[in-house]
Amino acid sequence: MIADSLLRLPCPARPGSFAALMSLYESNYIRLGWLLPAPCRIEGPLLSAPADDLPLHMTLVEQSRYTTTVRLTYYFDECGERVADPDLLVRIYHDALLAEAMACTRRHRHEALRLFDTRPGAELSRRWARNVMLNKWLEYCVDKGHRFFPVTENITIS
């Protein structure tokens, strides 16, 4: 397993800078690799369901030679409706070995996730917020024992 603690930030990279954001994307790629050993070979929906956490769903959105875009989420049942939260759209750059959280649901069910929402303004700040959230969530998922395997049947929310 590759450790993201070995990443070196370019000098001078200050937190919140574009250079440091690229290092965060690299860390995201490494952490995603802990869950999904071959991100360039996704073939449909994937599911990770360890005993002590909610099932984590990954859906293939788009795949090309150099990139793969996936949706990463938990699903909750709210009044009989299936609600995705957090609902992250992640682009994986195979050639650059980066993973970027491109979009995130604007309305979170959990107070802790609302802290990552940013007010309208600088795009760099929004990218930082989304990708720090992805980075922390990927680490949490690994700690909970998540690993992805292909889904072979329909799974209902319990």
Residue 156 lies in a domain: no
Tens of pLDDT, residues 99-118: 999 987 655 555 555 555 54
**Residue range 7-63, pLDDT digits in tens:** 555 555 677 788 889 999 999 999 999 998 887 788 888 899 999 999 999 999 999
* 151 three-class SS: coil
Please name the residues in contact with 56: beta carbons below 8 A apart, sequence gap of 6 or more: 47, 48, 49, 72, 73, 74, 141, 146, 148
The tally of domains found in the chain comes to 1
What is the value of pTM for the model shown?
A: 0.77
> Residue 148's closest CA among 65, 60, 63, 66?
60
Q: Where in the sequence is the domain holding 99, given as residue range(s)? A: 16-146
